[in-house]
Amino acid sequence: EDQVTQSPEALRLQEGESSSLNCSYTVSGLRGLFWYRQDPGKGPEFLFTLYSAGEEKEKERLKATLTKKESFLHITAPKPEDSATYLCAVLRGGGSEKLVFGKGTKLTVNP
Amino acid sequence: DADVTQTPRNRITKTGKRIMLECSQTKGHDRMYWYRQDPGLGLRLIYYSFDVKDINKGEISDGYSVSRQAQAKFSLSLESAIPNQTALYFCATSYGANVLTFGAGSRLTVL
């Protein structure tokens, strides 16, 4: 069975304190790994897609990386506006065509 | 206007009532989805549709039904609501097996 595990469940950082969020997955034939950001009371918003081990994507203070077993979302010098829940999801091969989501990491950045 | 619009945004109802949540999109995407989000459980897929004539059950379809009235409209029904269906419901769309675009969510409370 496909599984996506995100850690930690919650993370508190001071503004400027860099850190990483983890997404480990067990899936048959990964077709893609997706990162989303969700603000309270809103729907998830797409951040990145990674397709193969070794791939990296960057956007402002965020960088996503992928290995064969996990993905990291690195946050460099975070700001309070980076506070949100970050969701990881995987799409497996074999014609499934369905995303499996992790439970998310709630990030709080204090000024 | 939002790309994916959900109505109602908030609904309080009683056990046994029939409820319909509606979703419309202006993205021109072929695929539409209904997810449920509960604290600690993450996003779980209820139903998905790859085109007007194609409806598929997700991992938690019991107690729910859907209708794809047009390419742009996908509604979710609870024929007889029960309290454990209290949750935040999201509609999403995609073009192929690609990035999901989510609506803002419909918060349903069943008393």
Q: DSSP for chain A?
A: --EEEEE-SEEEEETT--EEEEEEEE-SSEEEEEEEEE-TTS--EEEEEE-STT-EEEETTEEEEE-SSEEEEEE-S--GGG-EEEEEEEEETTTT--EEE---EEEEEE-
> Token pair of A86, please?
């970050």
pLDDT in tens, B75-92: 999 999 999 999 999 999
DSSP helix, strand, coil percent of chain B (3-state; round to 5): 5, 60, 40
Taking any CB pair shorter than 8 Å as contact, residues of chain A touching chain B are 31-32, 34, 36, 41-46, 49, 87, 89, 91, 97-99, 101-104
The whole-angstrom separation of Cα B45 and Cα A33 is 17
Contact A67, A3 (CB under 8 A): no
> Are B99 and A34 a contacting pair at CB < 8 A?
yes
Looking at residue B87, what is its pLDDT? 97
Nearest alpha-carbon partner for A87 in B37, B56, B20: B37
Average pLDDT score, chain A: 93
Looking at residue B56, what is its pLDDT? 93
User: Coil, helix or strand for B54?
Assistant: strand
Nearest alpha-carbon partner for A51 in A41, A39, A64, A61: A64
Residue A96 has pLDDT above 70, yes or no: no
pLDDT in tens, B33-85: 999 999 888 899 999 999 999 999 998 999 999 999 999 999 999 999 999 99
- Per-range mean pLDDT, top range of A24-38, A63-77, B96-110: A63-77
Contacts of B104 in chain A (CB under 8 A): 41-43
Residue A90 has pLDDT above 90, yes or no: yes
pLDDT in tens, A13-54: 999 999 999 999 998 888 899 999 999 989 999 999 999 999
Looking at residue A99, what is its pLDDT? 86
> Are B43 and A44 a contacting pair at CB < 8 A?
yes
Looking at residue A95, what is its pLDDT? 65
Residue A89 has pLDDT above 90, yes or no: yes
Q: Taking residues B13-19, report their average pLDDT.
A: 97
Residue A93 has pLDDT above 80, yes or no: no
Looking at residue B98, what is its pLDDT? 73
